[in-house]
Structure 1
Amino acid sequence: MLIETLTLTEPVKRQVVRLLNQIEQANSMIQAVKSGARADGFVLGLEAAAALDHSGIDSLHLFFETALEARLKALAQ
């Protein structure tokens, strides 16, 4: 999933990019999981603040989950 497919405000998009970079640049599985948890917390915060609709929240969860899985697979090799 590409970030361009998500409908986000600029401040939220900047934070999503920052969190994504942390996941993609993690040097260990532990670091990757911590970055993924941080991203998940961010999405939960957006959900609690009703900053995105339900489909936007689901898309963002899937976006970060996909990035984390890809990074964990890369680190496992």
Structure 2
Amino acid sequence: MGLEAAGLVVVERVHLAHLGPRLRFADWSSTVGRDIFPIGQLEEGRFFLGIDETSEIYLIETWVATFGPAQEALEKLVLGISPRRIG
């Protein structure tokens, strides 16, 4: 079950669409109130994965979603379960 199959509604932050991942991480860190650090990518760089200081795993695009705490997040990633959109 991919992001499309989960019926995830995407509201883009147009001003970030052209920016690199560093600025996306900084912006979303500010939005969620935690520092998010890059740890990887999905779909050949379309989505970025990040982790915060509490080990919560995020999906970053021009929007942000959470997979939850690290162990739960790894299970969701392996099973193809979509993250919960938070911004």
TM-score range, shorter chain: under 0.3
Give me the TM-score of the superposition, normalised by structure 2. Answer: 0.24
- Which structure shows the bigger proportion of residues in strand conformation? 2
- Which structure shows the bigger proportion of residues in helix conformation? 1
Larger RCO (alpha carbons 8 Å, 6+ apart): 1
